Structure 1
Amino acid sequence: MLAAGPLLIASLTDEPLAVGAAVFVQQLPWLLFALLSGALVDRLDRRAVIVASGIFRAVVRER
């Protein structure tokens, strides 16, 4: 997936800026959510976060 997006854009256009923008847009959600969630988790109780994430994983995996 990480390689397919930029390769698709490169096959559609000859613009290197478009390929770079595709990579940037592909990584932007990870960058934004990782920074915000990291700041939030640092302020919460570690045990509560671990228990909540374990319950969330169990519910998601069950479906």
Structure 2
Amino acid sequence: MSMMDKIKSMLKGHESQTDKGIDKSGDMVDDKTQGKYKGQVDTAQDKMRDQFGGQGQDRPPQP
């Protein structure tokens, strides 16, 4: 079992908490960099949500 599989299994069923963590970490990076890399941070957040099952505040739920 790879490390990603272990992480995914740990986060399964906790999508709302995962999503909050992704948002909070992205906000922290934006604050530390004064928004200089906002586009890259947003892209990374979207990829993490796709990988770990979070929905995001501005994304509609997927069927």
| Higher RCO by CA contacts (8 Å cutoff, separation 6 or greater) | 2
TM-score, scaled to structure 2? 0.38
Higher helix content, 1 or 2: 1
TM-score (normalizing by structure 1): 0.38
